[in-house]
């Protein structure tokens, strides 16, 4: 393999918990909620699927969200509209908190790399294997990689909202391979979504899946990638 393409959320990084997300925003806004209300609001936000990179919505989508849900990663505007629409199903003390929640999830503090992310990316660089990040997302994740010291390992970022194309569309993977100067047949796609990330197989890429688990429960799922590229 000449290149490895990685998904972002649930593959290299994991978003913080919904409770942590809400606590951080309330603290930043200097808004106090009684603990039982805070816990209830966090639970309701999780049920609504309001945290990007977190749990999917478990109930019926609001009409406005349903209209854009399947294409939410094609633009920054659609992504924000979808997730703030979900958040607004949950009453909060100040309506401005819904946009603050969305803004929080785009910060480096909201994301944590999996324990073996740096090790695997570093080993790939030592072996001369190119690395790309291919993500369905509505915002620029590059600052996350820079803040966590992982940007030097990445040769190309191919983000759906910048191209108006979402995985599993093969064109997104083809764009990444072209940016890395790699034939798709010499590339491996690593992700946690069998439908979205599995789209790379249409180009002839190898595909390897990992489980979308909390960081504490997935210490070494990326290490098998190093065996696959030998």
Residue 132 corresponds to which tokens in the numbers above? 């790309």
CA–CA distance, 2 with 185 (Å, rounded to integer): 9
CA distances from 116 to 7, 106, 122, 213 (A): 15, 22, 10, 13
Tell how strand 111-113 and strand 13-15 pair up.
antiparallel
Give the pLDDT confidence score for residue 82 in this predicted structure: 98
Q: How many other C-beta atoms lie within 10 A of the C-beta of residue 215?
A: 16
Q: How far is CA 181 from the centre of its chain?
A: 24
pLDDT beyond 90 at 59: no
Which residue is it, tokens 């890395």? 180
Type and span of the H or E element at 3: strand 3-6
What is the value of pTM for the model shown? 0.97
pLDDT tens digits along 81-118: 999 999 999 999 999 999 999 999 999 999 999 999 99
pLDDT band, residue 230 (cuts 50/70/90): confident
The band of 79, judged by pLDDT with boundaries at 50, 70 and 90, is: very high
CA distance 79 to 71: 8
Domains and CATH numbers, the chain: 3-14+112-228 (3.40.50.1000), 15-110 (no CATH)
Question: If we measure between CA atoms, which residue out of 137, 134, 188 comes closest to residue 156?
Answer: 134
Residue 56 DSSP class: P
Supply the DSSP symbol for 9: B
Residue 200's pLDDT is 98
How many angstroms separate the CA atoms of 5 and 131, rounded? Answer: 6
Tell me how far apart the alpha carbons of residues 145 and 13 are, in angstroms, rounded to a whole number: 9
Between CA 29 and CA 43 the distance in angstroms is: 20
Sign of CA pseudo-dihedral 128, 204, 167, 113 = negative
Q: Render pLDDT for 178-211 as a digit per residue (tens, 0 to 9).
A: 999 999 999 999 999 999 999 999 999 999 999 9
């Amino acid at each position: 393999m000449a290149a490895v393409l990685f998904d972002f959320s649930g593959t290299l990084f994991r978003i913080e918990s919904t409770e942590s997300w809400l606590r951080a925003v309330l603290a930043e806004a200097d808004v106090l909620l009684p603990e039982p209300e805070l816990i209830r609001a966090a639970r309701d936000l999780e049920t609504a699927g309001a945290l990007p990179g977190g749990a999917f919505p478990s109930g019926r989508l609001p009409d406005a969200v349903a209209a854009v849900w399947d294409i939410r990663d094609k633009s920054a505007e659609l992504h924000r509209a979808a997730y703030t629409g979900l958040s607004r199903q949950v009453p909060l003390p100040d309506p401005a908190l819904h946009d603050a929640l969305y803004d929080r999830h785009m910060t480096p503090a909201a994301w944590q790399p999996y324990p073996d992310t740096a090790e695997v990316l570093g080993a790939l660089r030592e072996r001369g294997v190119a690395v790309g990040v291919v993500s369905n997302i509505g915002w620029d994740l590059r600052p996350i990689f820079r803040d966590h010291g992982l940007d030097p390992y990445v040769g190309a970022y191919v983000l759906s909202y910048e191209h108006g194309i979402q995985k599993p569309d093969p064109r997104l993977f083809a764009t990444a391979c072209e940016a890395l100067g790699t034939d798709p047949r010499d590339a491996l796609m690593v992700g946690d979504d069998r439908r979205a990330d599995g789209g790379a197989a249409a180009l002839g890429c190898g595909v390897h899946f990992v489980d979308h688990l909390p960081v504490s429960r997935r210490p070494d799922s990326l290490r098998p990638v190093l065996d696959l590229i030998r």
